[in-house]
Structure 1
Amino acid sequence: MEKMNDSNAKQMYYGWKIVAAILTVLTFTSGLSFYNHAIYLNALATQPAFNVSTASTAVSIFFFSSGITGLWVAKWIEEYDPRICISVGAIICFISLLLLAYVSTIWQLFLVYAFFGTGFSSSSLIPATTLVTRWFHRKRAMALAIASTGLSLGGVILTPVTAFLVGSLGFTLAAPIIGAFYIIGIVPVTWIWLRSDPESMGLNIDGDIDEPNLKEIAPQGEGVIMQTVTPGTDYEANLEENITLKQASASRFFWGVSLAYIFLMMAQVGGIAHQYGLAREILTEAQTALAIAILPIASIVGRLIGGWLVDRVSIRLFSIIMMVLQASSLSLLSGGFNVISLYVGLALFGTSVGNLLMLQPLLIAEAFGVRDYARIFSFSNLMSSCGTAVGPALLGFVYASSNNLYARPYAVAAVAGALGLVLFLLGGKIKKAVVIS
């Protein structure tokens, strides 16, 4: 028996297979939805019924729908197998892409985009981060960093492919092919490798075999205690004392994080959405092609380095540094000085983008534990989705009212990022409770 346990201990923890599967899922969800809106809507813009304003509104509806659906998704994945939720989300996105090729009126576009948003929410961040949080405690930051790299890989790998398909075949023929990619890339991986939690496979969180696990007792006051849990005990029992959504929503820290992320995501997504237009103001076509590749690459590298650092430094301090970096880089981009400053600004902005998206679920899990994580994160994510939805439209409006120049829009984004930092600081430090039984 002892030799068998030694052999098991040397095997790779199954949680890392979960991470690889989620990386794949997020690559397809981001590459075929989040990063592809401009491609889809530009294809539809050839019709007289649609214009830039209509397109911006459709994207906003997508993110609002995604945020609202997230509340239901969180409840579903707590009560049922998350693989069902992810698969249903992929099917909804497939159907949405089929329908999108045939919309001819504004109300049809808005309806399909709302439906598309529900599918995206069901198959993306909420189930993905919930699964990583369930499987990891000690190396949660690195696990999330690796898994969420798929968000950037989707833009780097799949978005150019879909742009080629739409340009070569036309949107009507390309849409069902892109939708098929969504199903093929997500559903098989989900059912072959994803599992709800370690207990479903007779494992303990982090892969501990023979030693007792450490269980984090939920925050309700000052300090923290760690309690041992016997290996093999029921996973749900291990989470009993983690904080609930009701308790979390009564804390200052929850509101500090959630309100901060409204403005952080407003600045981030707005800045990403308009980077091409910003680059074209001062760069040639060849220089612009290089410029728009800088941000996703910096995002990937920055996220992986950040995942390694967060396990070794204060997560709150690291979050503050990334928020300062985002506001500063957006300020640099608003200056429009020269080619070098633009490249440097995009690299710094990309570094903050990669880390801030990862830090929101980490902060929620660190402060409030795992048991009700999905509901707590979905509530926080609903608020940040408002910033995500408003950001591109807000910067577009400022651009239109600024003689079609991007200096002022990126200055507005920098202010939004700074406001997010202030709100985060007002939320105070992460507080964990001493629970005395």
Structure 2
Amino acid sequence: MIVPVGQRPFFGRRVVGAAFIMAIFGWGFGFYGPPIFMQAVLERTQWSVGFVSAAVTLHFLFGALVVARLPQLHARFGVPRVTVAGSAALALGVIGWALAREPWQVLLAALISGAGWVTMGAAAVNAVIAPWFVARRPIALATAYNGASIGGVILSPLWAWAIARFGFGVAAVVLGLVMVFVMVVLARSVFAVTPEAIGQHPDGEAMPRGPMRSDDPAAARAGVFLWRDRLFLTLAVGTSLGLFAQAGLIAHLYSVLVTPLGNQGASLAMGLATACAIAGRIVVGRLMPPGTDRRLVSCVCYGVQVAGSLLLLCSAGSHIALLLFGVVLFGSGIGNATSLPPLIAQTEFAKADVQRVVALNVAISQATYALAPAAFGLLRMSLPAGNTGLMFAVAAAIQLAAIGCFFLGRTHSSPVLAQPKTPQGYAR
């Protein structure tokens, strides 16, 4: 029986589910995996911590270079092919980490894994979701990006268990093959489908909506002009500062929490931060009304994190209630730091520019936050033993600077989702 086009379930829901799964593997392998891989390499080779840490940094920095070109790769080869090729590169790179016997081999593996993971990262998730959602993009992106947090919850302990039980090589091969198989299935059955191909419109509407106010073709920026554009520069710098503070603090938070809470308590506290990140994304995605100034929402989210950082500072590492409340507030903004920038780009840039803006923003911020763990480590080394207060103060100060950047980029007229088209084709 042939189902009329208008009666088919909205395929975009399947796209969100597929993007969620892609994010689980992308972050589970490419973001949360490298610290675990580093430890496994150190135990097997006895290479210096500094060298293997540099390999992890190389993984993220090279990924930043690749993600800047992701829109061009998608345009030339298509999202399905790029995703499958990226998953294969990520699996091959992780296997390289596991089998490396010489220092140059682990550096080569880092280049390959770094190039692969960004094809399943933040810019890739946005590229998959964007054709299917316009007005409902906030909750669609929030749901898909929560796969990133779930990837840390599921795959981090799975990596640790599999490496301890079977060895790094076997774990890398088996989990890598599983990832590639799943990505091939999703690419063929979901990512290859477009709204136009099945006669559907974004958000499942019976008729297409008008464009975003910024979808005027005349508003499109030529490549070089993005670097002179106040909206892009404040978005990129604000995102980079916010993620730098987050990545630096998260990298050291567990070791700080171990002293007052113990190993198990610190693990539970980090799990609490992850749960708050998931909840924060969902709350903002569901409750943010159309037409909301998304930069202002981002400022509020970072403001909550600043409050969390200051509570961690005030806890002096011993006041448990303040410590946990600080973890809750800081954790609640972790997810929105990733999901809000693409939503800001959606309202402030022409449709032709959005994917490029998102990719460049991810590239700049990833290159920045790749250096954060080392920078915060140097800061801790310069402090007296057990005195971590300045680290929380620095994180709060950087997040305040991020708020300033987002605020400076605000326009006097808030962009809104367009209403039905006027005869000229522009939103009323």
Between the aligned partners of 1:322 and 1:202, the Cα distance in structure 2 is: 38
Which residue, 283, 296, 301 being the options, matches 1:322?
A: 301
> Which amino acid is 2:13 matched to?
W
1:196–1:364 CA distance, 2 compared to 1 (3 A):
farther
1:63–1:430 CA distance, 2 compared to 1 (3 A):
farther
Q: Matches of residues 260-279 of structure 1 in structure 2 within 5 Å?
A: 260-279=238-257
Between the aligned partners of 1:403 and 1:322, the Cα distance in structure 2 is: 32
Match of 1:174 in 2: 171
> Which amino acid is 1:290 matched to?
L
Deviations along 1:78-108, one digit per CA (max 9) or x if unpaired, are 2332011110000001111111112234333
Q: Is the 8 A contact 1:86 1:124 kept in 2?
A: no
1:334–1:78 CA distance, 2 compared to 1 (3 A):
farther
Which residue, 25, 32, 42 being the options, matches 2:22?
A: 25
Q: Matches of residues 325-336 of structure 1 in structure 2 within 5 Å?
A: 325-335=304-314, 336=317
Deviates more, 1:379-388 or 1:298-307: 379-388
Match of 1:224 in 2: none
1:309–1:430 CA distance, 2 compared to 1 (3 A):
farther
SS in 1 for 2:99: coil
Between the aligned partners of 1:161 and 1:172, the Cα distance in structure 2 is: 14
SS in 2 for 1:214: coil
Which residue, 197, 209, 217 being the options, matches 1:213?
A: 209
Between the aligned partners of 2:182 and 2:308, the Cα distance in structure 1 is: 34
Deviation of 1:16 after TM superposition, in Å, equals 1.2
Q: Is the 8 A contact 1:74 1:374 kept in 2?
A: yes
Q: Aligned residues, how many? A: 413
1:257 aligns with 2:235: yes
Deviation of 1:368 after TM superposition, in Å, equals 0.8
Deviation of 1:214 after TM superposition, in Å, equals 1.2
Q: Is the 8 A contact 1:28 1:186 kept in 2?
A: no
SS in 1 for 2:210: strand
Match of 1:285 in 2: 263
Q: Is the 8 A contact 1:134 1:370 kept in 2?
A: no
Between the aligned partners of 1:253 and 1:219, the Cα distance in structure 2 is: 15
Match of 1:311 in 2: 289
Which residue, 184, 188, 199 being the options, matches 2:185?
A: 188
Q: Is the 8 A contact 1:133 1:365 kept in 2?
A: no
Match of 2:335 in 1: 354
Between the aligned partners of 1:48 and 1:138, the Cα distance in structure 2 is: 52
Deviates more, 1:171-180 or 1:153-162: 171-180
Q: Is the 8 A contact 2:298 2:406 kept in 1?
A: no
1:410–1:212 CA distance, 2 compared to 1 (3 A):
closer
Between the aligned partners of 1:33 and 1:57, the Cα distance in structure 2 is: 15
Deviation of 1:362 after TM superposition, in Å, equals 0.8
Q: Is the 8 A contact 2:210 2:425 kept in 1?
A: no
Q: Is the 8 A contact 1:75 1:374 kept in 2?
A: no
Q: Is the 8 A contact 1:261 1:387 kept in 2?
A: no
Gaps of 5+ in 2: 419-423
Deviates more, 1:377-386 or 1:46-55: 46-55
Between the aligned partners of 1:32 and 1:13, the Cα distance in structure 2 is: 30
What's the TM-score once normalised by structure 2's chain length?
A: 0.89
Match of 1:42 in 2: 39
Between the aligned partners of 1:107 and 1:415, the Cα distance in structure 2 is: 38
Deviates more, 1:9-18 or 1:24-33: 9-18
Deviations along 1:45-66, one digit per CA (max 9) or x if unpaired, are 1245533323332222111111
The root-mean-square deviation of aligned C-alpha atoms, in Å, is 2.5
1:127–1:242 CA distance, 2 compared to 1 (3 A):
farther
Deviation of 1:217 after TM superposition, in Å, equals 4.5
Q: Matches of residues 418-429 of structure 1 in structure 2 within 5 Å?
A: 418-429=400-411
